[in-house]
Amino acid sequence: MNKEKRTLLLAAPRGFCAGVDRAIQIVERALEKYGAPVYVRHEIVHNRFVVENLEKKGAVFVDELKDIPKDVPVIFSAHGVAKSVPTEAENRKMFYIDATCPLVSKVHREAERHERDNNEIILIGHRGHPEVIGTMGQLAEGQITLVETAEEARAFTPNQPGKGLAYLTQTTLSVDETREIVGILKERFPAIESPRKEDICYATTNRQAAVKILAERCEGLLVIGAPNSSNSMRLVEVAERSGCAEVAMVQRASDIPWERFKNIGTIGITAGASAPETLVEEVVDAFSRRYDVSVEEIVTNQEQVVFKMPKILEREGAA
């Protein structure tokens, strides 16, 4: 029996970014150096497959420091933490390693600089996201105002009109939506200070740009990622706004909504920045079992970013 033909277009870049790769390596190297268990405060990245694999190796994921014994290493997730978290760890005499993505740490330092410069700060981001909680927690409560939507940007009123005004952004936002919000703020407050270098990270920008190109060439698109992953959710939204008729998020191949895609001949596939390549391969294999598949990679950018490991985990002889 002849199989129906399907064309799979793979976005490139896709999947792990440098910050996620570094965070996972931090947990793995800590396990090598100190042995199991190593505790991690919150999910190291937003992907259950990654978390479960690390659990098998001896990582233990908890919500709060009070859930961790004092004599084991603790790692802070890639999303960053409020300043109160390392302070609490020090008060509890815990040994901790910070796996915060360096691009998130950059936003934290910007917040501190604006405070020193006596600027009132707006943070563009999603309420309740760990990265937003961590960034707002770099300063005293009330020092940063969160703006989530264009409507909130239009309604924003400075708390201290005599001060300068500056904005920061979460690193994993929709590029287009953020541009709209920034445009509103700049129109209302022409002197507002922008980040010295774009806060939305290179990986978020590149993956969204790749999805836009993919959406022009396919009728259906799968985003491999997690519903609590901001960058993955933004890829779904970008695909939908780009006019792709059928868009679905799947955490892995077992989630593929076959009925929705049964009449679609060309299907795009991408993966959020916290989704490993093995899950992409799993999805391609699932299609190959059902259909006569041809696979084409659509390369829109090359990524060569690598972040250094914390000094305490650098291997002997490493650069």
- Examine residue 13 and say whether the peptide bond preceding it is cis (omega within 30 degrees of 0): yes
Distance CA 121, CA 168 (A): 7
- Which one, of 30, 24, 32, 73, lies nearest residue 51 by Cα? 24
Distance CA 42, CA 260 (A): 34
Catalytic residues: 131
- Which one, of 277, 257, 271, 230, lies nearest residue 101 by Cα? 230
SS3 track for the chain: CCCCEEEEEEEECCCCCHHHHHHHHHHHHHHHHHCCCEEEECCCCCCHHHHHHHHHHCEEEECCHHHCCCCCCEEECCCCCCCHHHHHHHHCCCCEEECCCHHHHHHHHHHHHHHHCCEEEEEECCCCCHHHHHHHCCCCCCCEEEECCHHHHHHCCCCCCCCEEEEEECCCCCHHHHHHHHHHHHHHCCCCECCCCCCCCHHHHHHHHHHHHHHCCCCEEEEECCCCCHHHHHHHHHHHHCCCCEEEEECCHHHCCHHHHCCCCEEEEEECCCCCHHHHHHHHHHHHHHCEEEEEEEECCCCCCCCCCCHHHCCCCCC
